[in-house]
Structures are given as structure tokens and as C-alpha cells.
Homo-oligomer: A and B are copies of this chain.
């Protein structure tokens, strides 16, 4: 109720500016109703927003005109009472583009306003070897191709979200520190905008684990669980923390940095220069080294392919690979216990290669978690494998863009360009 009454309160003011503000805010309210429900009658919307029915009809008419909503037939409520025409979110002509650039791959997820996937792909790519400049040029090319494909499909993107395994200054769109990419103070938003030239759109940058956590909370295996942690499983390992249904950001947006937790003072040297970081125990490199003898098989860069290669070894019953998985599983459980002791989440969703190898890793991880967590009986916490695949972060990046569009419909209220001819 809160938000709606606030909107009505704003309505009490009389200047034209605040009337415009109020109308945008009310359009956003109605759009959110449509996003959060499969379909909604005008009466439902009026009831849950506290807006007058006439106002709702008027706002819905505008959304229908602009093809952001569509009529979806008649709802009969109870035996008596008038049948009510319901509307649903449409926006098939408005798109959001999500990108992820990580150590070994670029992922792309383009969808329309209702979340329907339009473009989805993953490309093996050596971001470290390429350096920041060439990497951003490549990201620009991939993004440009996706924008064109989305336009051809009729879902013209209105914004781009980029996921990076990094500490990100979200307000400025700057990658402050990406140890595994070896990027420091990189103005990613500005440089991608430049690389895209005339195809350019508003760019938002955020941490990969944060965005994947949002995707999991919205549409993953534990969707809607108010206290949830997401762990990426790539060459690096990051964490995204959901508390009371909201992403934890901390004082500077740098929360959830699980990769370099010091878990073993006698452990080996990490790429970051410190000793015994958790990543040296559970990162994909650690598993690869333990599972595959040096020089075995072709050098595979894409983590998805490498995970598949290790899965094949496990399925074939290779004892060295099984030992390696058990060891990594136990360290995964130890890190999970740190997260569980501090945040008390109900579920820890694991993505990336952790999810690919879940059947071999998670039994060991769960046993170790239960051995180490203080509140093991009283406050159960379960590992769960993500089913969003390696694309979780790019999907989260796209859904972040959609949230922004819905919060500020003026971004999609201006006349939209017609889809380009193929």
C-alpha cells in the first residue's frame, strides 16, 4: 500500500511538473503490477495501488496505445459480478540487453520487456590475454550484433547492462578492480558507449555475482527465497547476497567478495598475492589442476567446455577426478559455512561450473557445511544448483535494465524507432 499512497500524496500537489512526475510514477506503479502478475484487471490494479479506477483506466489506455500492455481476454470473478477485461505486460517491441564478460567467455541475453528471450549466446573469449582495450572492442562488436539481431526481431533494446567479475563503481560505470581480468579503474560504460558509436544506448555496469543473484531471486531454483546467497563458479568465485528479498550492496557496493576470503594460512599463493584465498581451493583452476594431469587433453578456454570435460571424467568413474571433486566439494562446504554463519540464508545457490558438476560436488559440500555451521539443526541451510547455466549474470543484467525501465517509464515513453529492415 505504501508506495501507492505516496503516489496519491504527490498527486495533491498542483504544479505541472509534479503532475508530470505523478503521472510517470503512476504509470510505473501500473507497469509493476503487470510485471508482477500474469494478468490483471483494471479493478485489481485500482485495488492494489490505491489509485482511482478512472485514473487506472486512463493509464492502462496509454500503456495499450504505446503497446506496453495488451488485452488478454475476460476474467470472471465468482458467480455474480461483471466479467472484467484483464491486461498483461506486453512490450514485445521494447528490449533489454544483458552482457557478461568473464575470464573465459562473453555471454549475451537479450529479452523483451516481459522477459521473453530474444537473443541468447555464449562465446569463448580470452579477456585476460586480450587486455582491456581489445576486450572492450570485442564486447562492443558482440553487443552491436545483439542490438541488430534484437531490432530485427522487433524488440528494440532501450538499455544495456554489463556484468563483470569485479568491484564496480555502479554510479560511474567504472570497473574499480577485477583481479582475475587484471583490469583496474576501467571506465567500462564510457568505453562501451564509444565502441558502439551510433548503436549506443544507456549502459549500466555491475558485479556479475550481484546480477546473477538477482536473476536467481527473480527466476531461479530458489526464486523468491528472501534470504539467499548466490555463488558464481568460474575461474574466480564471487557472491551475491539477497537479504529480506533485496540485494546487499554495503557501504560502497563491494559486498559479497567471497573469492579472497582467507581460509588457509598455510595455503598456496593466490593470483592476488595473498595466501590461502578461498578461490585457490574452489576456483575452476584449482579443480582442473587437481583433476587433470598436466598436459592431458587439449587446452580448453571456455569454462563451460572445461566443466563438461571434467564431468565426462567423473561420469567415466576416473578416480583422480573423483578425489579432486570430493576435495573441492569439501572446500565449497567450508566457504558455504562462512556465508551461512554470517548471513543465515536458507539457500546457497551455486552457479557456473559448480552447477554443472553439482551431483559430484554438492553432497561433499553439504556434509561439510553441516559439520561447520553453528546453527545446523536450528537454522537449516541447503546448497542448490542453479539451472540458469553460465548465462545467469547476463540474464540478471537484462532484468536489471528492465527494472530500471519499469521504474522510469519515460525512457520507453518517447516515440520508439521502427525496427530496421533485415
Which A residues contact B (CB, under 8 angstroms)? Answer: 1-2, 5-6, 9, 50, 167, 169, 176-177, 179, 226-227, 239, 241, 243, 248-266, 272, 274, 334, 337-339, 341-346, 371-372, 374-375, 378-379, 381
Are A252 and B342 within 8 A (Cβ)? no
A122 smallest CB distance to B (angstroms): 27
- Our pick among B243, B337, B375 for the contact of A177 (Cβ within 8 Å) is B375
- Our pick among B266, B338, B375, B378 for the contact of A261 (Cβ within 8 Å) is B338
Q: Which 9 A-B pairs have the closest CB atoms?
A: A250-B344, A252-B379, A257-B341, A227-B251, A254-B375, A255-B344, A5-B5, A254-B344, A251-B346
Expressed in whole angstroms, the Cα–Cα distance for A363 and B167 within the complex equals 26
Expressed in whole angstroms, the Cα–Cα distance for A337 and B261 within the complex equals 8
Are B256 and A342 within 8 A (Cβ)? yes
Are A344 and B5 within 8 A (Cβ)? no
Q: Which residues of B contact A1 (CB under 8 A)?
A: 6, 9
Known: A9-B1, A338-B338. A343 touches B248 (CB 8 A): yes
A4 smallest CB distance to B (angstroms): 9
Q: Which residues of B contact A346 (CB under 8 A)?
A: 251
Expressed in whole angstroms, the Cα–Cα distance for A241 and B248 within the complex equals 12
Are A176 and B252 within 8 A (Cβ)? no
Q: Which residues of B contact A179 (CB under 8 A)?
A: 374
Q: How many of these chains are in the complex?
A: 2
Are B2 and A253 within 8 A (Cβ)? no
Known: A5-B5, A167-B375, A176-B378. A345 touches B250 (CB 8 A): yes
A262 smallest CB distance to B (angstroms): 6
Q: Which residues of B contact A345 (CB under 8 A)?
A: 250-251
Q: Return 6 A-B CB contacts under 8 Å, by A number.
A: A227-B250, A241-B342, A250-B343, A257-B342, A262-B372, A338-B338
Q: Which residues of B contact A167 (CB under 8 A)?
A: 374-375, 378-379
A169 smallest CB distance to B (angstroms): 7
Q: Which residues of B contact A261 (CB under 8 A)?
A: 337-338, 341-342
Expressed in whole angstroms, the Cα–Cα distance for A23 and B199 within the complex equals 58
Are A262 and B260 within 8 A (Cβ)? no
A269 smallest CB distance to B (angstroms): 14
Expressed in whole angstroms, the Cα–Cα distance for A402 and B284 within the complex equals 51
Known: A167-B375, A262-B263. A255 touches B9 (CB 8 A): no
